[in-house]
Amino acid sequence: MTYQPLSNRYQNMQYRRCGRSGIKLSAISLGLWHNFGHVDVYDTYQKTLRLAFDSGITHFDLANNYGPPPGSAEENFGRILKEDFFNYRDELIISTKAGYTMWDGPYGDWGSKKYLVASLDQSLKRMGLDYVDIFYHHRPDPETPLEETMQALDLIVRQGKALYAGISNYPAAEAEKAIHILKQLGTPCLIHQPKYSMFVRDPEAGLLDVLAREGVGCIPFSPLAQGLLTNKYLHGIPEDSRAARSTGFLQKDQVTPQRIEQITNLNKLAIQRGQSLAQMALAWLLKDDRVTSVLIGASRPDQLADSLKALDNIKFSSEELASIEDILK
């Protein structure tokens, strides 16, 4: 059967302006870092993407190396784009990135103009697109001049291969420099994608202030701290979890007794708020108006549906915020 999106899909989503740009993003965006590779089940992630669009999510976030294997998330997204969303391209914000290892040799990693331009050309082919809405440099490169990397983003926008430029994983001082270079080049930085959650607070040490001052949007990734901020680890480490396998970024030794105690206490507070721990963790990020959207992953449609309920309550009392800080100390 041909997919027909829900006609009321924009009624229940919140949309937030991205910095001082003309773009608004859905308060929750879907990231395709995991769960959309060739190792995953096509029918499952197709249903997840359809539910996202039916729920008013307009922003889908990819990168050249997402999979596994690298590149396969873009290929699979391109296939679903063609099958389901072809007539709705102008209702979507599609982003991709380059900056991590993608192919062998000196031109398949980091931040040279050669790598960024070649990588985006490959990404466009994989997705079957003429352009992406946002193209990010995925991480700072200590060996390439920042000017060269930003000139590459500027060139890509001027070529029409991306509408907007973004940066990811840049600490505050480097982000500020990058933003200023892009401004001078005439291609303002639209958005920054940092790692940010209740357990990873680095952006609060200057980055959020820089973005607010410069009128740049912020879209945190890993808002659930690789699953720690869910009910999965309330009773220790389940056998089927990422931490148990220690194959990803979450290692067994990170799930300490102190961490489990924090998760347990945060979960009690979430229940008092009528939310799951995951919903509260997303709402906690969205309470800050410097945050444009929160980037979530989902391995199944029901997981996505659960996360979307975070939008039902993103207000916190001063007592609740104080309790959260006490727990996180």
pLDDT over 80 at 94, yes or no: yes
Q: Cis omega (within 30 of 0) on the bond before 70?
A: no
pLDDT at residue 240, as a whole number: 66
- pLDDT score for 247: 58
Quote the CA–CA distance of 14 and 325 in Å, as a whole number: 27
Q: pLDDT tens digits, residue range 205-261? A: 999 999 999 999 999 999 999 999 999 888 777 666 666 665 566 667 778 899 999
- Which secondary-structure segment (H or E) carries 73? helix 72-80
Mean pLDDT of 272-281: 98
Q: What is the pLDDT of residue 251?
A: 67
Q: Are 162 and 134 in contact (CB under 8 A)?
A: yes
* 144 phi-psi bin (left φ>0, alpha ψ -120 to 50, beta other): beta
Stronger pLDDT, 126 or 242, i.e. the higher one = 126
Pairwise CA distance, residues 224 & 28, whole Å: 13
Query: What's the rounded Cα separation, in Å, for the pair 294 and 69?
Result: 25
Cα 278 from Cα 227, distance rounded (Å)? 8
Rounded CA-CA distance 287/9 in Å is 23
Lowest mean pLDDT of 1-5, 111-115, 245-249, name the range: 245-249
Whether omega for the bond prior to residue 194 falls within 30 degrees of 0, making it cis, is: no
b or e along 196-213 (b: 16 or more beta carbons within 10 Å of the residue's beta carbon)? bbbbbeebeeebbebbee
Please check the confidence at residue 9 and state whether its pLDDT lies above 90: yes
In the predicted structure, residue 85 carries a pLDDT above the cut 80: yes
DSSP-assigned letters across all residues of 229-263:
TSGGGTTS--TTSHHHHT-SS--GGGS-HHHHHHH
pLDDT band at 318; cut points 50, 70, 90: very high
Residue 217 buriedness (CB in 10 A; 0-12 / 13-18 / 19+): buried
DSSP secondary structure string, 105-173? Answer: STTSSTT-HHHHHHHHHHHHHHHT-S-EEEEEE-S--SSS-HHHHHHHHHHHHHTTSEEEEEEES--HH
**pLDDT for 149 beyond 70:** yes
Pairwise CA distance, residues 32 & 52, whole Å: 12
Least confident range of 36-40, 86-90, 156-160, 253-257 = 253-257
Segment 170-189, tens digit of pLDDT: 999 999 999 999 999 999 99
Which residues have a Cβ under 8 Å from the Cβ of 43 and sit 6 or more positions away?
Answer: none
- The order of strands in the sheet holding 132-137 is 217-218, 189-193, 162-168, 132-137, 93-98, 59-61, 28-31, 294-296
Q: What is the mean pLDDT of the chain?
A: 95
- The tokens 């041909």 sit on which residue? 2
pLDDT at 300: 96
- CATH, domain 15-229+285-313, list 3.90.550.10, 3.90.600.10, 3.20.20.100, 1.10.150.130: 3.20.20.100
Identify the pLDDT of residue 232.
86
Q: Mean pLDDT across the stretch 126-144?
A: 98
Kindly report which listed range (32-36, 100-104, 133-137, 248-252) carries the lowest average pLDDT score.
248-252
Distance (Å, whole) CA 116 – CA 65:
13
